[in-house]
Amino acid sequence: MAETQSQGTPTLFSPYKMGKFNLSHRVVLAPMTRCRALNGIPRPALAEYYTQRSTPGGFLITEGTSVSDTAAGFPHVPGIYNEEQVGAWKKIVDAVHAKGSLIFCQLWHVGRASHSVYQPGGAAPISSSNKPISNRWRILMPDATYGIYPKPRALDVSEIEVVVEHYGKAAFNAIRAGFDGVEIHGAHGYLIDQFLKDGINDRIDEYGGSLANRCKFLMQIVRAVAEAIGADRVAIRISPAIDHLGAIDSNPLKLGLAVIEKLNEFQLQFGSKLAYLHVTQPRYHAYGQTEQGKHGNEDEEAYLMRTLKRSYDGTFMCSGGFTRELGMQAVAEGDADLVSYGRLFISNPDLVLRLKVNAPLNRYIRKTFYTQDPVVGYTDYPFLVIQSRL
Ligand SMILES: Cc1cc2nc3c(=O)[nH]c(=O)nc-3n(C[C@H](O)[C@H](O)[C@H](O)COP(=O)(O)O)c2cc1C
């Protein structure tokens, strides 16, 4: 059970105690890749973007941030594996803290969702498998065209421990940059999900086959990161029911419950709670993200999310297609402790205020999601103008 909060039915605007962190509300900035970190170095525009979305006692999660030089699969994704990146992030984190928000860094390795253009020496991307992502999906290239995902190279068992170490080092760097914690990106068809899902993972060694084996890579990373920075600063994101980039599992609920069982066990053994578990809701499919154009109905989704929430022993964050009404409902009914908002937060820097006063929302412009302009489609969405009527 998550810690008991203030009296009465909670709303999106009730305070929440997330382990050692005190949040003043439950509207979280979801991690979102925005491709504005030229050559992997966060630049001042990111400070403007994140501070615009900061509120006293609020909580932000950064865009996916590369844990090593093989981790990127989009143009101009920031990294957290060298000193220049740590120094650049520090300025952004300091600016966010000055506005009173907490901020976690999302640790990302895309695995096979990459291309030789993003790899050192033009090498093949790494994965759990040699199977490429199907041609139904396309990769965004540095010149803004879309390419075909190439055949990846399955990691040898001996190489896996090096990748695990990269996560530990990246987490340590994140704390050096001043971040309050990290979120391990285990969702959406990227490297960790490529180990978790039986539609991709075809290994016959100790990392493939049974659910326990498929969870092993994630759990080694969780341990390495927790040992580097303390479990209470570590969060995990999963999306068992989402088939983005071909990440299909034959039994998403069973997979989700297996991960949760491992996380619960880990917390007991480690003697400390993790910061939170972040689960992307299948409703996200409704936005054209699904592999076969089919997805569960609302009742099936609610059952899946509720079962996961009730099984996890800690703070549970939901994401995916939340409106004000759905977020209020999820928190009031105990289906979420925290709700992360993505696209609505892109186009509404003051989303927290707008949701609070139930103000109209700016519409987001999809075509500038992944462009590099430091202002247009990034920090130029308007704030609410509250007219005082005297
Ligand atoms: C432009 C864009 C970039 C995203 N990048 C990431 C990312 O780096 N890491 C991640 O875990 N999720 C990423 N997501 C998924 C969001 O975190 C979120 O779960 C998703 O947008 C659904 O929430 P929404 O309906 O509130 O937008 C991205 C979504 C968008 C729209």
User: In this structure, what DSSP letter does residue 117 have?
Assistant: G
Minimal-distance CA residue to ligand 1 atom 1 = 369
Whole-number Å distance, alpha carbon 215 to ligand 1 midpoint, is: 23
Q: State what percent of residues in the chain have pLDDT above 70.
A: 94
Minimal-distance CA residue to ligand 1 atom 16 = 342
- Side-chain half-sphere of 146: how many Cα atoms within 13 Å? 6
Residue 190 annotated as catalytic: yes
List of residues 6+ apart from 285 with CB closer than 8 A: 242, 243, 295
Whole-number Å distance, alpha carbon 280 to ligand 1 midpoint, is: 9
Minimal-distance CA residue to ligand 1 atom 5 = 32
pLDDT one-digit tens code per residue, 198-233: 999 999 999 999 999 999 999 999 999 999 999 999
Whole-number Å distance, alpha carbon 388 to ligand 1 midpoint, is: 35
Which atom of ligand 1 is the closest one to the Cα of 369? 1
Which atom of ligand 1 is the closest one to the Cα of 63? 8
Whole-number Å distance, alpha carbon 259 to ligand 1 midpoint, is: 21
**CATH homologous superfamily of domain 16-368?**
Aldolase class I (3.20.20.70)
Whole-number Å distance, alpha carbon 387 to ligand 1 midpoint, is: 32
Q: What is the pTM of this model?
A: 0.96
Whole-number Å distance, alpha carbon 270 to ligand 1 midpoint, is: 30
Instruction: Say if residues 341 and 29 touch (Cβ distance below 8 Å).
Output: yes
Q: How confident is the model at residue 377 (pLDDT cuts 50, 70, 90)?
A: very high
Which atom of ligand 1 is the closest one to the Cα of 321? 25
Please list, residue by residue across 121-152, b when 16 or more beta carbons sit within 10 angstroms of its beta carbon and e when fewer do. eeebbbbbbebbbeeebebbeeeeeeeebbeb
pLDDT one-digit tens code per residue, 291-331: 444 455 778 888 999 999 999 999 999 999 999 999 999 99
Minimal-distance CA residue to ligand 1 atom 28 = 32
Instruction: Say if residues 53 and 349 touch (Cβ distance below 8 Å).
Output: yes
Quick one: CA torsion of 240, 187, 100, 83, rounded to 10 degrees?
A: 160
Nearest-angstrom CA–CA distance, 212 and 196? 9
Minimal-distance CA residue to ligand 1 atom 13 = 32
Helix (H, G, I), strand (E, B) or coil at 175: helix
| Catalytic hit among 190, 207, 276, 378 | 190
Query: Which DSSP string corresponds to 260-312?
Result: HHHHHHHHHHHTS--SEEEEE-GGGGGGTT-SSS----HHHHHHHHHHHHHH-
pLDDT, residue 390, reads 53
pLDDT one-digit tens code per residue, 14-43: 999 999 999 999 999 999 999 999 999 999
Q: State what percent of residues in the chain have pLDDT above 90.
A: 91
Nearest-angstrom CA–CA distance, 258 and 292? 25
Is the per-residue pLDDT at 388 higher than 80?
A: no
pLDDT one-digit tens code per residue, 88-121: 999 999 999 999 999 999 999 999 999 999 999 9
Query: CB within 6 Å of ligand 1 — which residues?
Result: 30-33, 63-64, 106, 185, 187-188, 237, 280, 284, 319-322, 341-344, 369
Beta-bridge partners for 135: none
Minimal-distance CA residue to ligand 1 atom 18 = 342
The token pair at 135 is 């041609």
Average pLDDT, the chain: 94
pLDDT, residue 7, reads 65
